[in-house]
Structure 1
């Protein structure tokens, strides 16, 4: 599927309505790239300025069951990994403030902030 960029509060509201505020969802995977690297010729470190996270979420729903998010300019990313609690998302908050997109789950232990965000549905094969 084609990537859909979230640009403003209207896009956020539409997505939240589509996904029922992430009710009965869970994070199934992620990849992270810091964009920092070491130059092999002189072993100097180049500090990245555009950290990227790809986040996979599945939903207990008839439509949009698997969603991939592409987060750019990530300034905060936290996953609650307490194995003694459920990792099910009951409800998430998603808003734009001070030039960043903010997303968090009820307990705010699972959350992210980023400069740019896109999403797409992953279809079953």
Structure 2
């Protein structure tokens, strides 16, 4: 599963074509990490760069591919809105654009980066974007970890 780098609007169009514009898909799970840490002697380590990264697994009701992973590196904004009770989590279409050096992904085609708010849409922006086929990761099983229900 090699990562495919998205560099420009041509690559964005290809990704949207390959994954059907995310139609009838869902955000299955995500994993967020930074380069910040505390070592064994309790010293803090930090990066001077944009060090927040996010991997997101999407599954959809079509094949070839039926699942993909997006890798956002150098995340600048991140906003997830869970579906309310008694509402589905189906994504019908998305916005994926490159604007002023940032990639923006949002769960609604009509969403605009300049109009972002902490409203009803899930969205993310980052300095770089990569994707890969994750069709072998279908189903309910978590791929980034597990829930410990103690």
For normalisation by structure 2, the TM-score amounts to 0.75
Report the Cα offset of residue 37 of structure 1: 1.2
Structure 1: state its 5+ residue gaps. none
How far 1:95 moved relative to its partner? 0.4
In 1, the alpha carbon distance for the partners of 2:130 and 2:3 equals 6
Which deviates the most, 102-111 or 61-70?
102-111
**What are the within-5 Å matches in structure 2 for residues 53-64 of structure 1?**
53-64=54-65
How many residues are treated as equivalent by the alignment? 124
What is the CA RMSD across the aligned residues, in angstroms?
A: 1.8
Counterpart for residue 114 of structure 1 = 126
Could you tell me how far 1:29 is from its partner in structure 2? Answer: 0.8
Q: After superposition, give the CA deviation of every residue in 1:85-121 in whole Å (9 maximum; x if it has no partner).
A: 3211011000001111001012662110011111110
Aligned to 2:104: 102
| Distance in 2 (alpha carbons) for counterparts of 1:78 and 1:93 | 14
Match of 1:37 in 2: 37
Quote the Cα distance in structure 2 between the aligned partners of 1:123 and 1:90: 19
The structure richer in strand per residue is 1
TM-score between the two structures when normalised by the length of structure 1: 0.89
2:67 paired residue number: 66
Task: Quote how far apart the aligned CAs of 1:77 are.
Answer: 1.5
Provide, for residues 14-52 of structure 1, a one-character-per-residue CA deviation record: whole Å limited to 9, x for no partner. Answer: 1112222111000001111022112433x3433343211
| Structure 2, unpaired ranges of 5+ | 112-119, 138-150
